[in-house]
Amino acid sequence: MKRIAVLTSGGDSPGMNAALRAIAKLAAGQGLQVFGSLEGYDGLIDGRFRELTKVLSDGAVSVDIEVDVAGGQGGTLIGSARSARFRDAAGRAQAKVQLEKLGAEGLIVIGGNGSLTGAHLFAHEQGVKVMGIPGSIDNDIGCTSTSLGVDTALNTIVEACDRIADTARAHRRAFVVEVMGRDCGYLAMAGAIAMAADAVLIRESGKTEAQLVEDVRAVIKNGFARGKRRILIIKAEGVNVPCTRLVRLTEERMREELPTLEIRATVLGHVVRGGNPSYQDRHVAGRLGFGAVSALLGGFSDE
């Protein structure tokens, strides 16, 4: 094995660049060249690659300087996208042709559920040696305890909620803060525990809109009755009631009980996905990058 390819697919997450750096460093140490597919599976189909390593004049392989620097940055140096074309067998067949043209004998895919499902199909259908690295802030990938970006996302949530709590106490207000996570409530639950929030709303509870409004009403009423100056409720984006609608319905429900009540809705959105990776995410990226390269060299695939 002389060359391998790597791609980042789906939603970006902090730690993807750290994984690219780890893969390039470990592969270079074994004399392997690494090529990054630009914009995920679409770049693979189109044959758009970037060298993540350089062959020196003496034949040694070294990590590209920009890759080395980017390891401590958020996002992904080689771009990411969701590819409709790769879902078709024709697209996957074309991707294999491009890998063969490149001379790559293995592929590492960094991404979430959809990306890794595509990697699994690619390995079985096209016979390509493929390894997957879980990268998703949602932490919703089966058989993994954590994914790249989860720790950084949680640190961002905690920092944002700390700031929100400051202004909430100053004005004796209630805040409903929505965080990302798609259909998984992990970020909301873990963030709520870290913040000692008054309540957390997750899709997994299966509650109706009316039940959610009543729960929020009870939490706010009881909290202020105990003398609290801030009420913090963290809501997962998977809960089907929009944050602003939930706040409006709750205020209407409580107009007679607390006529001066002010509830604020804050949607953190893509702020949660950005930022330089934490120590934990860089550490996990290094270990998973080492495992992926070692597995390919060991002849393993679809792991």
Report whether 153 contacts 187 (CB < 8 A): yes
The whole-angstrom separation of Cα 283 and Cα 296 is 20
Structure tokens at 110: 């960094």
Nearest to 265 by CA among 290, 239, 283, 227: 239
The whole-angstrom separation of Cα 106 and Cα 99 is 8
The whole-angstrom separation of Cα 239 and Cα 205 is 9
The whole-angstrom separation of Cα 233 and Cα 128 is 47
In DSSP terms, 233 is beta-bridged to 176, 199
Catalytic status, residue 151: no
Catalytic residue of the set 12, 42, 64, 138 = 138
- Burial-class residue 46 by CB neighbours within 10 Å (0-12, 13-18, 19+): middle
Nearest to 257 by CA among 212, 288, 293, 218: 218
**Measured CA distances, 43 to 1, 2, 63, 107, 294 (Å):** 22, 21, 21, 13, 25
Report whether 131 contacts 300 (CB < 8 A): yes
The catalytic site residues sit at: 138
